[in-house]
Amino acid sequence: MIPNSPIRPDRIAANIDALAAITEPGRPYTRRAFTPKFLEGRAWLQQEIQRAGFSSRIDAAGNLIATITGTRPDLGTIMLGSHSDTVPDGGRFDGVAGVVAALEVARALKDQGITLEHTLEIVDFLAEEVSIFGVSCIGSRGISGTRPPEWLARSNDDLTLETGITQVGGTPAIDAKRNDIKAFLELHIEQGPVLQDEYLDIGVVTAIAGITRIEIIVTGRADHAGTTPMGSRQDALTTAAWIALGVEELGKALAQNEFHFAATVGEFVMEPNAANVVPAKVRMLIDARAESRPDMERFIDELGRGVAAIADKTGVTVSEPRIVSDNQPTPCDEDLLDVLDIACDTAGATHRRMASGAGHDTAWMARITRAAMIFIPCRDGRSHAPDEFTTTEAIAQGAAVLLDAVVALDKNLQEDQ
């Protein structure tokens, strides 16, 4: 037990273990959205919600939602939650910790005999991870009214996303956008090493980094690897290597600024990829993430100039960097950040403010309501891997912070109206 807290770590541990046991055979912690194992995990969650004495439903967007009606439901809804789907061979805590912690907050309130004036909802968002349809955050985009209509026609084999949402209990033809949610909070493992390395309990998330993906095509000339003189080659790979090193150097420089920044050459395809042929073509895809939009704009500008300079130096043709996708950073609500700071102090949790380099459902919820996140430490920053790990105590500490924040918000949100 956490001193002076109604949060029960034993319930949290039992819930995490139960969901971890629902996984594809031979593939630890694999419950991809729209698969039978995902539906099995959802069924278990619904049973646990009912055991706690709460009602549940699947909304039009395919999200599982538990409802604890407030004494004044006209005030609107405070929502907590995350997601229960995983990446293939993923971790047992990514998303799941946030759903379980949110449910534990509701149980702790009930144990204390506390009924909020606002309605409290616990949500398991549909398909936060990249799904079998190649898109992510399907449920939170549905609630926020930002899911593109054309997505419903996306298919995987004979299954369309529209049919997939229907099969999990949603009604894709109905507009799922909400206007009654007054605040949203999400707990998540950090997926990085900062909290562990600084021996801190909680990260209060200031913003979710914008993600920009940029494609570069390097076109050289295929030649015989043994007979073409070194000074006569147009080697696409060596030029691409210079660009990759430049991306790393520029990323490191921007990471020294006040705001979070990271850049990665995540995809790299070479042709013809034969040992005895000088590489003729390379396709590179850069993943850049920035808390501050000006940092991203500087990266894009300097990348373009740097690529042109490398092409001039090597004599190999390089395409102008092409932006494939471009999402703006999402700041978390300042008032909620203050509430979370105070809740950390109340719960006795050491904390710091920090940005998220990963995307989360919170970024979409921020389109329709005040939204914020807290991070808890995970061992060595590992995530999206079978050895992803955090402690029950860390989840319980985060749940205690959420509990104090929800109680404060139940009062503060009324004062702001």
User: Which residues span the domain enclosing 305?
Assistant: 210-326
Task: Report how far residue 267's alpha carbon sits from residue 263's, in angstroms, rounded to the nearest whole number.
Answer: 12
Question: Is it the case that residue 219 has pLDDT exceeding 70?
Answer: yes
Say yes or no: 269 and 127 in one domain.
no
The verdict on 409 and 299 lying in the same domain is no
| Residue 108 to residue 216: CA distance in whole angstroms | 52
Please state the pTM of the whole predicted model.
Answer: 0.93
Which of 278, 301, 326 corresponds to the end of one domain? 326
The CATH code of the domain that includes 306 is: 3.30.70.360
Confidence of residue 415 (pLDDT cuts 50, 70, 90): confident
- Residues 351 and 194: their CA atoms lie apart, in Å, by 11
> 151 Cβ partners below 8 Å, 6+ apart?
133, 135, 138, 161
- Judge if 29 and 164 occupy the same domain: yes
Asked if residue 4 belongs to a domain, the reply is no
CB 132 within 8 Å of CB 33: yes
Domain boundary among 306, 326, 346: 326
**Do both 169 and 228 map to the same domain?**
no
In whole angstroms, what is the distance from residue 312 CA to residue 322 CA? Answer: 19
| Residue 293 banded pLDDT, cuts 50, 70, 90 | very high
Percent of the chain with pLDDT over 70: 99
Q: Is residue 2 part of a domain?
A: no
Answer yes or no: is 300 within a domain: yes
The band of 417, judged by pLDDT with boundaries at 50, 70 and 90, is low
- In three-state secondary structure terms, 354 is strand
Do 377 and 408 share a domain, yes or no?
Answer: yes
The reply to whether 123 falls in a domain is: yes
Would residue 183 count as lying in a domain? yes
Q: Are 187 and 228 part of one and the same domain? A: no
Q: How far is CA 232 from CA 273, 309, 319, in A?
A: 19, 19, 21
In this predicted structure, the answer to whether residue 249 has a pLDDT above a threshold of 80 is: yes
- Contact status, residue 204 vs residue 343, Cβ threshold 8 Å: no
Does the residue 251 lie in any domain?
Answer: yes
130 in any annotated domain: yes
Last residue of a domain, one of 281, 296, 326: 326
Are residues 172 and 271 both part of a single domain? no
Read off the CATH number of the domain in which 31 is found: 3.40.630.10
61, 139 Cβ separation under 8 angstroms = yes
Task: Supply the pLDDT for residue 282.
Answer: 98
Same domain, yes or no, for 174 and 32? yes
Q: Taking residues 292-317, report their average pLDDT.
A: 97
AA identity, residue 276 = N
**Does residue 261 sit in the same domain as residue 407?**
no
pLDDT tens for each residue of 234-243: 999 999 999 9
Is residue 388 one of the residues assigned to a domain? yes
What is the Cα–Cα distance from 64 to 45, expressed in whole angstroms? 9
- Say whether both 69 and 155 belong to one domain: yes
In terms of domains, do 242 and 129 share one? Answer: no
pLDDT tens digits along 315-370: 999 999 999 999 999 999 999 999 999 999 999 999 999 999 999 999 999 999 99
Which runs of consecutive H residues, i.e. helices, occur in 119-214?
A: 138-143, 161-167, 194-197
Judge if 194 and 223 occupy the same domain. Answer: no
pLDDT exceeds cutoff 60 at 1: no
For the chain, how many structural domains are there in total? 2
